[in-house]
Amino acid sequence: ELKVEQNPLFLSMQEGKNYTIYCNYSTTSDRLYWYRQDPGKSLESLFVLLSNGAVKQEGRLMASLDTKARLSTLHITAAVHDLSATYFCAVVRSNYQLIWGAGTKLIIKP
């Protein structure tokens, strides 16, 4: 059974600091997604990672994928308050279902 674990589940940090969210998954998958969700809002796609060693960057966020280690990271550089949200990773199962991590609630304090 495919399981997806994120850590930490909660992160409070100061503006300007760097931090990394980790996403581990238990079985082989060929695709991993990162989503952002603001409170009470919908899910916004951030990154799709398709292959080992894939790295994608958008602004202060950078995601990477290591399929051998079954690990993806979402790195936040010089955090700003606007990045406060809950971040989810999700991994595709063979039948196209997405299995979701529990989410990391990120609070960035001014």
Partner 1 sequence: DSGVTQTPKHLITATGQRVTLRCSPRSGDLSVYWYQQSLDQGLQFLIQYYNGEERAKGNILERFSAQQFPDLHSELNLSSLELGDSALYFCASSAGTGFAEAFFGQGTRLTVV
Interface positions with partner 1 (CB under 8 A): 31, 33, 40-45, 48, 88, 90, 92, 95-103
Decide whether 35 or 79 has the Cβ nearer to partner 1: 35
Q: How far is the CB of 100 from partner 1 (least distance, A)?
A: 4
Q: How far is the CB of 37 from partner 1 (least distance, A)?
A: 9
Decide whether 40 or 110 has the Cβ nearer to partner 1: 40
Decide whether 4 or 79 has the Cβ nearer to partner 1: 4
The radius of gyration of the chain's CA atoms, rounded to the nearest angstrom, is 13
Q: How far is the CB of 88 from partner 1 (least distance, A)?
A: 7
Tokens of 79: 């955090």
36: β partners: 44, 87
My answer on whether omega of the bond before 8 falls inside 30° of 0, hence cis, is yes
97 phi, psi to nearest 5 deg: -70, 145
Residue length, the chain?
110
